[in-house]
């Protein structure tokens, strides 16, 4: 039980990596607090956790809205009395287009969904973690925007995900003395709806980018998040942790 009785917020829990994380964390003893916009999906994920003997609460909302991060923290405190960790994982790719053709609205939306949401989450989560002796925050960044991840048409996404590394570094430094750790998890291509699931051409292209010649399963990425949220990683903060099938050491 790597997360025994730890209360953990998971955003993006309606699909893909977040959905896999919800089940994995609960199986490792966590009380999970699930967030995303699709209430029906969250309810199904929460019921699956409960029927497997775990504990879950959920609240549908939009991570771009300023009150939502605080509402998830309030739910964690109201239901479980504390907050030990957060997997701030919700994200979206946005429109894929070269910058000269990119709408400002798309830029703003991708930054709000992927980066400003993390700022809002940390702002709401850190005070309660500090008050209870510490905690662990994980942002889902990406290989895109980091080493070997300069894919054309993905400038807004890349900038938002690179921004999460800088945010984790600053927060890691700011709150280390309070025992609040903040790390960025950088997955390689992962088989989820956002990662091209159901589209064989996309899956083949992205698999081919990786030295391992395959993509990750959502659970493989969730396992890395589990490590960062657990007491196995107590000397890690401000780190960009690559879980990318060797993408960063790709030669061509
Ligand atoms: P996914 O299956 O499409 O899941 C994305 C999740 O984010 C969904 O649960 C979605 O929920 C939530 N979300 C998106 N916009 C939201 C908003 N405005 N408010 C609240 N929730 C929102 O994709 P995934 O691959 O699991 O993505 C999870 C994270 O991994 C993302 O940050 C993504 O950028 C990152 N990532 C993915 C890959 C990959 O290859 N798949 C690689 C590197 C990094 P609702 O639609 O219900 O709101």
> Does a structural domain hold residue 87?
yes
Task: Extract the tokens encoding 63.
Answer: 């991570």
Structural domain count, the chain: 1
What residues does 32 pair with on adjacent strands? Answer: 8, 56
Output the domain CATH number for residue 216: 3.40.50.720
Model confidence pLDDT, tens digit, residues 60-118: 999 999 999 999 999 999 999 999 999 999 999 999 999 999 999 999 999 999 999 99
Task: Extract the tokens encoding 138.
Answer: 């994980």
Question: Among candidates 223, 248, 220, 136, which has minimal Cα distance to 183?
Answer: 136
Sheet holding 180-187, edge to edge: 55-60, 31-36, 7-11, 85-88, 135-140, 180-187, 240-243
Query: Hey, which of 16, 33, 224 would you mutate to test ligand 1's pocket, going by the most ligand atoms within 8 Å of its Cβ?
Result: 16
The range of the structural domain enclosing residue 156 comes to 7-247
What is the pLDDT at residue 148? Answer: 81
Q: Which residues contact 134 (CB under 8 A, 6 or more apart)?
A: 178, 179, 180, 181
What is the pLDDT at residue 251? Answer: 82
Q: Tell me the mean pLDDT in the region 216-221.
A: 98
Strands in 157-211 per DSSP E: 180-187
> Does a structural domain hold residue 162?
yes
> Does a structural domain hold residue 101?
yes
Task: Kindly report the protein residue whose alpha carbon is nearest to atom 34 of ligand 1.
Answer: 91
> Does a structural domain hold residue 188?
yes
C-alpha 177 to ligand 1 mean position (Å) = 31
Q: Give the active site residues.
A: 157
Q: Which of 33-47, 146-160, 196-210 has the lowest mean pLDDT?
A: 146-160
């Amino acid at each position: 039980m790597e997360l025994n009785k730890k209360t953990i917020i998971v955003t993006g829990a309606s699909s893909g990596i977040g959905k896999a994380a919800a089940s994995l964390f609960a199986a490792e003893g966590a009380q999970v607090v699930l967030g995303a916009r699709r209430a029906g999906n969250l309810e199904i994920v929460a019921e699956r956790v409960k029927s497997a003997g775990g504990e879950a609460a959920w609240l549908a909302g939009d991570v771009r809205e300023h009150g939502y991060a605080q509402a998830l923290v309030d739910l964690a405190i109201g239901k479980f009395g504390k907050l030990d960790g957060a997997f701030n994982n919700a994200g979206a790719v946005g429109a894929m287009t070269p910058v000269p053709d990119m709408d400002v609205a798309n830029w703003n939306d991708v930054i709000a969904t992927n980066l400003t949401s993390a700022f809002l989450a940390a702002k709401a989560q850190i005070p309660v973690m500090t008050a209870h002796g510490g905690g662990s925050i994980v942002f889902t960044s990406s290989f895109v925007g980091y080493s070997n991840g300069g894919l054309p048409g993905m400038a807004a996404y890349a900038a938002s995900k690179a921004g999460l590394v800088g945010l984790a570094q600053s927060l890691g430094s700011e709150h280390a003395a309070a025992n609040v750790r903040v790390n960025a998890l950088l997955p390689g291509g992962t088989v989820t709806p956002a990662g091209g699931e159901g589209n064989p051409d996309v899956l083949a292209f992205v698999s081919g980018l990786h030295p391992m010649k395959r993509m990750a399963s959502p659970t493989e990425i969730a396992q890395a998040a589990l490590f960062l949220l657990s007491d196995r990683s107590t000397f890690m903060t401000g780190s960009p942790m690559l879980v990318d099938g060797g993408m960063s050491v790709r030669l061509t």
